């Protein structure tokens, strides 16, 4: 079989077809800054450097798809949430350092619609999408990224306080969620128009370790579904990302009808890779699930190769699988471990005809 482009390889996997090999997606985002030799703060604030770093990292490592994630404080900045930019670490909302935008339950009522095109960080992300799409869109898969409305709202309040507010004043929280979601809808469309091939929706709270299924349905599902509906209307694939523990594959597929799910841990009710493949392997494309802290960050190339082979052996048959990191590739991990994932997909090829 002749070698395919990265984009062709990913399309095969997303179509449940066996390709020339399993696609490799180490989800190198913030780590790409180290290829260009810039600080994390520069990478996060300057879209021209973000795009250049991502493109150079793909050229160096050979991965099959871009994930256009900067960090989880991109969207909340639009409402004025302060963000801290460490020199060599992921930007973080100041809500986690004692300075949330939403300081009281009453503050939810103050959130108003904002223009995503004028919000600095969302505008920058769309610029990155446009640049990467123009330079690499014909050969490498490009996935836009949107944090779900509950996640964005928590960046302005903290998850702990927001979860308590669901009981104290659910109507105020829902009003704010609708405001946030309307802006996220605009942001989603802008990324699509910039040329991304798919949209990744981060629906982290659909997890047994965060919210129950009924709470998730009430406080994110009914809002965020508008984002996936818009993607479907435009024939743009929806891929969900949830790196939480015991995720609700059933709830997520019910709401969003995704083409695939990107995940870090086995979903709720599943105890092995084999059971995952049997129950979900023909319903959704599986993107995962390399262990970030223990393998990609703390491990070496040999460990990455062994763990990659284990997952390829269990999940690749029949297509519908991309070997990906369980979350963004650790920004300060060895880039050799990202390359080892790509190497593993070339070395352990269940689709190769002998």
Please tell me the predicted confidence (pLDDT) of residue 334: 97
Mean pLDDT of 157-161: 97
70/174 Cα distance (integer angstroms) = 27
Tell me the CA distances in angstroms from 317 to 19, 218, 259, 279, 288, one per residue in order: 11, 37, 17, 14, 15
Tell me the CA distances in angstroms from 325 to 44, 137, 216, one per residue in order: 21, 22, 25
Please tell me the predicted confidence (pLDDT) of residue 1: 60
Minimum mean pLDDT among 17-21, 168-172, 232-236, 350-354: which range?
A: 350-354
Checking if the pLDDT of 354 tops 80, the result is no
Question: Residue 3 class from Cβ within 10 Å (0-12 exposed, 13-18 middle, 19+ buried)?
Answer: exposed
Mean pLDDT of 266-287: 97
- DSSP labels for 293-305? IIIIIT--HHHHH
Query: How many CB atoms within 10 Å of residue 133?
Result: 21
What is the SS3 assignment for 124? helix
Please tell me the predicted confidence (pLDDT) of residue 15: 97
User: How is residue 272 annotated by DSSP?
Assistant: S
- DSSP labels for 197-252? SEEEEE-TTSBTTT--HHHHIIIIIHHHHHHHHHHHHTT--EEEEE-SSSB-HHHH
Checking if the pLDDT of 123 tops 80, the result is yes
Mean pLDDT over each residue of the chain, to the nearest integer: 97
pLDDT range class, residue 331, cuts 50, 70, 90: very high
Mean pLDDT of 273-291: 97
pLDDT range class, residue 353, cuts 50, 70, 90: confident
CB 85 within 8 A of CB 45: yes
- The fold for domain 6-347 equals TIM Barrel (3.20.20)
pTM: 0.97
Positive or negative CA dihedral for 331, 332, 337, 342? Answer: positive
Q: What are 46's strand-pairing partners?
A: none
What percent of the chain is modeled with pLDDT above 90?
Answer: 98
Q: What are 262's strand-pairing partners?
A: 241, 287
Question: Residue 91 class from Cβ within 10 Å (0-12 exposed, 13-18 middle, 19+ buried)?
Answer: buried
Q: How many helices (H) and strands (E) does the chain have?
A: 14, 10
Length of the chain: 354
């Amino acid at each position: 079989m002749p070698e395919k482009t990265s984009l062709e390889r990913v399309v095969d996997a997303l179509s449940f077809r066996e390709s020339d090999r399993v696609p490799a997606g180490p989800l190198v985002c913030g780590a790409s800054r180290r290829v260009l030799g810039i600080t994390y703060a520069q990478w996060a604030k300057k879209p021209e450097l973000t795009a250049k770093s991502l493109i150079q990292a793909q050229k160096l490592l050979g991965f099959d798809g871009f994930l256009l994630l900067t960090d989880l404080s991109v969207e909340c900045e639009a409402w004025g949430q302060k963000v801290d930019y460490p020199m060599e670490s992921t930007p973080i909302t100041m809500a986690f350092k004692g300075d949330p935008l939403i300081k009281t339950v009453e503050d939810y009522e103050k959130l108003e619609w904002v223009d995503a095109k004028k919000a600095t960080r969302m505008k920058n992300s769309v610029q990155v999408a446009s640049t990467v799409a123009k330079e690499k869109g014909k050969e490498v898969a490009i996935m836009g990224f949107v944090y779900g409305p509950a996640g964005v709202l928590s960046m302005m309040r903290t998850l702990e306080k927001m979860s308590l507010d669901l009981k104290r004043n659910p109507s105020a929280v829902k009003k704010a969620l609708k405001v946030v979601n309307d802006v996220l809808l605009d942001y989603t469309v802008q990324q699509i128009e910039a040329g991304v091939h798919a949209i990744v929706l981060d629906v982290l709270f659909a997890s047994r370790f965060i919210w129950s299924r009924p709470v998730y349905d009430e406080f994110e599902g009914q809002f965020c579904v508008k984002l996936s509906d818009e993607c479907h209307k435009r024939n743009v694939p929806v891929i969900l990302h949830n790196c939480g523990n015991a995720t609700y594959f059933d709830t997520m597929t019910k709401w969003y009808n995704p083409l695939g799910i990107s995940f870090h841990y086995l979903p709720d009710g599943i105890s092995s890779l084999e059971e995952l493949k049997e129950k979900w392997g023909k319903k959704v494309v599986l993107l995962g699930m390399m262990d970030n802290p223990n393998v990609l960050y703390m491990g070496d190339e040999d460990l990455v190769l062994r763990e990659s082979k284990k997952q390829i052996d269990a999940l690749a048959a029949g297509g519908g699988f991309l070997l990906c990191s369980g979350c963004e590739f650790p920004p300060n991990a060895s880039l050799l471990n990202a390359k080892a994932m790509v190497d593993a997909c070339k070395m352990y090829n269940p689709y190769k005809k002998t």
